[in-house]
Amino acid sequence: MESKMRKIGRISILIALFALFFACGEKGVTGKMKSAGKTENHEKIDPFLEANKIIVRREAEEIELFIKRYQWTMEETGSGLRIEILDVGEGDFLKEGDEVTLNFQLFLLDGEVVYDSKNDGKKVFVVDKSSEITGLHEAVKLLKPGGKANLVIPSHLAYGVAGDGHRIIGQKSVAMKISIEK
Residues 63-117: tens digit of each pLDDT: 999 999 999 999 999 999 999 999 999 999 999 999 999 999 999 999 999 999 9
DSSP annotation of 172: -
Q: Is 116 exposed, middle or buried (0-12, 13-18, 19+ CB in 10 A)?
A: middle
What's the Cα-to-Cα distance from 27 to each of 20, 43, 165, rounded to whole Å? 15, 18, 37
pLDDT value for 10: 67
Question: How far, in Å, CA of 173 to CA of 161, rounded?
Answer: 11
CATH fold of the domain at 75-180: Chitinase A; domain 3 (3.10.50)
pLDDT value for 126: 98
pLDDT per residue as tens digits for the range 149-178: 999 999 999 999 999 999 999 999 999 999
pLDDT value for 44: 72
CA dihedral 155, 158, 164, 166 (to 10 degrees): -80
Question: How far, in Å, CA of 77 to CA of 62, rounded?
Answer: 17
Mean pLDDT of 11-16: 64
What does the domain layout of the chain look like in residue ranges?
4-70, 75-180
Please state the separation of Cα 70 from the chain's center in Å: 17
Question: How far, in Å, CA of 142 to CA of 88, rounded?
Answer: 8
- pTM listed for this prediction: 0.75
